[in-house]
Amino acid sequence: MNKMDAQEFGARGETIAADYIKRLGWRILGRNIRVGHGELDITAMDGSDLVILEVRTRRVGKLMPAETSVGPMKLRTLIRTARKYVEKISYSGDWRIDVLAVTEDDAGHLDIELFSDVTMGMSGSFMG
């Protein structure tokens, strides 16, 4: 079996993530939503909360685990894009940014881990 390219692998990870959050009872609003210069992987409702979901897909053995690949610059971009999206849809309720890490081992087994509210506790200057 030949290895899929990075874009196909990432798209597969997003499909796995969408299936996972549906099983959690979340309602998906959209996938790969372009807002300004940014893109949101998945937007969903977790009960009454809007969730912006960043999906990270990696294979075991990569230098950095999927969940740690979202650094400060990416978080700033996500926050900026999420704020524009919230404004665009005129959403006034609570919202958060979650990271869902999909890691595949050499045998093709998947480990899925959800990191909720990854911006919690960050200073206002960071989020601005």
Residue 35 amino acid letter: V
pLDDT of residue 66: 62
Give the chain's mean pLDDT. Answer: 85
Residues 6+ apart with CB under 8 A from 52: 40, 42, 43, 78, 81, 82, 85, 95, 96, 97, 98
- Is the pLDDT at 103 greater than 50, yes or no? yes
Maximum separation of any 2 CA atoms in the chain, in Å: 48
- Is the pLDDT at 127 greater than 50, yes or no? no
Q: Point out which residues pair with 112 in neighbouring strands.
A: 102
For 40-71, what is each residue's pLDDT tens digit?
999 999 999 999 999 998 877 665 666 677 87
CATH topology classification for 6-119: Trna Endonuclease; Chain: A, domain 1 (3.40.1350)
List the domain boundaries for the chain. 6-119
pLDDT of residue 65: 63
